[in-house]
Amino acid sequence: MFSEFLQYLFTGITIGATYALIALGFTLIYNASHVINFAQGEFLMIGGMATVSLTAMGVPMILAVVLAVALAGVLGIALQRFAIAPAKQADVVTLIIITIGASIFIRGLAQLVWGKEYHVMANFSSDEPIRIFGAVLNSQSLWVLGIGAVLVVALVLFFTRTLIGKAILATSMNKEAARLVGIRTQMVLMLAFMVSALLGSVAGIVVAPITFTSYDIGIILGLKGFVAAAIGGLGSGVGAVVGGLALGVVEAMAAGYLSSDYKDAVAFSMILLVLFFLPRGLFGAKVVERV
Amino acid sequence: MLKTMVRRAGKCAVVAAAGLMMMSAQAAEPIKIGSFLSVTGPASFLGDPELKTLEMYVEKINEDGGVLGRQLELIHYDDVGNASSARNFASRLLRSDRVDIIVGGSTTGATMAAVPLVEQAGVPFISLAGAVVITTPVKKWVFKTPQTDRMAAERVLDDMKSRGLTKIGLISGTGGFGSSGRAQTLEVAEMMGVEIVADETYSGSDTDMTAQLTNIRNTDGVQTVLNFGFGQGPAIVTRNYKQLGIDLPFYQSHGVASDSFLELAGDAAEGLRLPASSLLVPDSLPESDPQKDVVQMYKSEYEARWDSKVSTFGAYAYDGLMLAVEAIETAGSTDPEAVRNALENISGHVGVTGEFNMSADDHNGLDADSFRILEVQNGEWKLID
C-alpha cells in the first residue's frame, strides 16, 4: 500500500520537476517583458535533439551538452533580436502570437534537420533503477531533481545578488523608469530570452533519457509547463516550481488511484480550480493600484 | 456545289482530327492515384514511409511503362494525423483532382473521416489503417491492406494461451489505434475464454507510465501483460516495465513492429513478444514461404533508395499500390465500378503483409496467420511462430 503511494509520488515528482523547469523559463521571460514565450518548449526540444545528434556524431557527452545549451542560447538571442525586437511598439498579445509563430518555424526547421523520428539518449549514470521501500526510482529522475534544484537556486541568486538580475527585475516593474536609471532595456530583454533558452535546453537534455526526444516534443511539454506556471502564478519562480511539482504529483496520483483515463482531465480541472479561487495563481503577486 | 462539298469535307476533317487528338490526349492522360497521409505530426512514422513507398514505386512503375500503357500520377496531401484535414483532402482529391483511386489514410481516424465522401463519390479507396471498423461491416468502395487489430489480438491471445497464460493485464493508448485495439482485445478475450484482470490506459503524449504499470503489477493473479499502442508511448511502457522489475511475460501489439522501436526501448525490450509482419524477419522465413521473395525485394529496394530502415507501415502502402495496379489491369480501364469489382475479386495476391484473398464480404483479404509471432532476443527480432 505504502510502496504504491511512494511509487506514484516518485513518478509525479519526476514529471513534475520537468514541468517546473519549463515553467521557470516561462516565468523568466514573463518577468522581463510580460510576454508568454510559447517557443519555450522548442528550446527544450533543441537541447535534447542537439545533444543526441552531437553525441551520435562522436562528440563526447559533456561537450555535446555544452554545445547544445550554447546553441539554444544563441537561438534565444536570435528569437528576441529578429522576432520580438522589430515589433517594438506592439502590444503583449501580438508578441505572444509572434512567439507562437517562431515556435512553429523552429519546429519546422528541426524537422528538416533532424527528421521526424524519436531519438534515444542514454541515462547520465546507471540504467539500474533505485529501489526504496518497494518503489522504484529511475536514476535519471535524481538528475532531473538535482539539476532542477541547482538551477532554481542559481536563478534566485541571479535575481537577488547580481546587478544584471536586478536590472531584469527593474525592467519588468517599470520599463521607462529602468531606462531612466541607465538600464539598457533591449539588452535586458535579450538576456532574459537567452537565460530562459538556456533553462529550457537544460530541461530538455536532462529529461530526454526518460521521455525520448523528437522535433515535436516541445508542444506538449511546453503546454504542461505553461499550465504549471499558471498554477503557480505567472512571474513567480517559487510558484513555477511548486506549480510544476503539484501538477506532476496530481497527474500521477490520478493515474494511480482514480483511472488513467481521467489523468489529464484532473490536471486541467486543477488549473481551473486554482485560477477560480486565486486568479493570480498560488504565488501570484498581489497588485496594488495606487491612485 | 463543289465548293460546299469541299467545305463539308473540310469540316469533317477538322472534326475527325479534333476527335483523334482528343482520343490520343485521353490515351496519354495519366492514371491519377490520390493519397492523403500523416507525413508529419504524431503519426508521421506511419505516413512518412508510406509516402516514400508510394513515390518510389509510382516512379518505378512509370519507368517500366506505366499501367495499361498510361503513366501513373501520384497526388498526395499531408493530413498531419488530423482527421478533419484528412476529410478536407479527401474531398479535394475527389472533387477537384478527380482521382481514379485513393490509396491512403495512415490512421483509422483519417480513414473513417474520408469514408462517407468516398462512398458518396463512388471511387475505390484502399486504406492503410488498422482498425477493424474500416472494413467491418463491408463498405462498397472501401478496402484496406493492414491486418485488423482484431487479428492481432487473436494472434497474441492465442500465443498466450499456448503458454498457459490466461489472466492478462491490459494497458493501452487512448489514441484511435490503442482504444480500438483495447476494445477488440476485450471482445476476443471473452470469446477465447481469457480473462482481462487489469485494464489501464495512457495518452499518446505521456512521458511516464509507471503508475499504470504499478496498478497492473499489484493486481491479483495477473500472469502476463499486453500493451496496445503506437508511437513512443509503448517504448516508454517497455522501459518502465523493466525499471519496475515486473518479470511476467510481456506482449506488445503490431503497433510497434519496427526496428526503431528496438532502438528506443533498448535492453528493456529483451524477451517481449509481438505479432508482426514477416517484413521484420525476411531472412528467417523458410525458402518455401511464398512471401519470402516479395518481402526481401521490398526491403532491399526501399533501403537502397531511402537509406533508412524499412517499416511495416511502408509495406501497407506497397500492398495498397500493387493491389490498385492489379485491379486496374484486370479491369482494363479506370472505370470505378470495374476497378472496384476487380479489387473485390483479387485472390492469391502475395503482398508484403500477407496473401490477399478479397471477396464480397471481406475487403481486407488477410487472415490472422499473416501475423507472425516474434520475440526480441539479443536486441533483434526472432521468429517464434
Contact A165, A36 (CB under 8 A): no
Residues of B in contact with A7 (CB under 8 A): 210-211, 214, 244
- Tens-digit pLDDT profile for residues B80-118: 888 899 999 999 999 999 999 999 999 888 999 999 999
Kindly report which listed range (A70-74, B38-42, B138-142, B163-167) carries the lowest average pLDDT score. Answer: B38-42
Does the distance separating the beta carbons of B215 and A118 come in below 8 Å?
no
Q: Work out the mean pLDDT of chain B and round it to a whole number.
A: 89
Does the distance separating the beta carbons of A117 and B211 come in below 8 Å?
no
Q: Work out the mean pLDDT of chain A and round it to a whole number.
A: 87
How far does the CA of residue A242 sit from the closest CA of chain B (Å)? 20
- Per-residue pLDDT, A285: 62
What percent of the residues of chain B are helix, what percent strand, and what percent coil, each to the nearest 5?
50, 20, 30
- Per-residue pLDDT, A49: 93
Does the distance separating the beta carbons of B243 and A129 come in below 8 Å?
yes
- Per-residue pLDDT, B337: 94
Q: Does A268 touch chain B (CB under 8 A)?
A: no
- Per-residue pLDDT, B277: 86
Contact B278, B372 (CB under 8 A): yes
The DSSP-derived string for B329-343 is HHHTS--HHHHHHHH
Q: Where are the beta strands (DSSP E) in chain B?
A: 31-37, 72-78, 101-104, 125-127, 142-144, 167-173, 195-202, 224-228, 250-252, 273-276, 349-350, 355-356, 372-377, 380-383
Q: Which of residues 25-64 of B touch A (CB under 8 A)?
A: 40-42, 44-45, 48
Contact B221, B197 (CB under 8 A): yes
- Tens-digit pLDDT profile for residues B301-325: 999 999 888 888 899 999 999 999 9
d(CA A5, CA A107): 38
Q: Does A10 touch chain B (CB under 8 A)?
A: yes
How far does the CA of residue A86 sit from the closest CA of chain B (Å)? 31
Highest mean pLDDT among A229-233, B15-19, B144-148: B144-148
pLDDT above 50: residue A289: no
H/E element holding A232?
helix A217-232
- Per-residue pLDDT, A269: 85
What percent of the residues of chain A are helix, what percent strand, and what percent coil, each to the nearest 5?
75, 5, 20
Q: Does A212 touch chain B (CB under 8 A)?
A: yes
- Tens-digit pLDDT profile for residues B253-285: 988 888 888 888 888 999 999 998 888 888 888
Q: Residue B17's pLDDT band (boundaries 50, 70, 90)?
A: low
Q: What angle do CA B123, B125, B128 make, to 5 degrees?
A: 170
- Tens-digit pLDDT profile for residues A159-180: 889 988 888 888 888 888 888 9
- Tens-digit pLDDT profile for residues B206-221: 888 888 899 899 889 9
The DSSP-derived string for B42-103 is TTHHHHHHHHHHHHHHHHHHHHTT-BTTB-EEEEEEE-TT-HHHHHHHHHHHHHTS--SEEE
Phi then psi for residue A135, to 5 deg, are -100, 160
Task: Give the side-chain half-sphere CA count within 13 A for B288.
Answer: 0
Candidates A4, A7, A224: best to mutate against B (most CBs of B within 10 A) is A7
Residues of chain A with pLDDT > 70: what percent? 97
β partners of residue B179: none
d(CA B266, CA A268): 33
How far does the CA of residue A260 sit from the closest CA of chain B (Å)? 6
The average pLDDT across B243-256 equals 90
Burial class (CB in 10 A: 0-12, 13-18, 19+), A153: exposed
Which residue do the cell numbers 513515390 mark?
B55
Residues of chain A with pLDDT > 90: what percent? 25
- Per-residue pLDDT, B341: 94
- Per-residue pLDDT, A282: 80
- Per-residue pLDDT, B23: 52
Q: Residue B164's pLDDT band (boundaries 50, 70, 90)?
A: very high
- Looking at residue A250, its amino acid is V
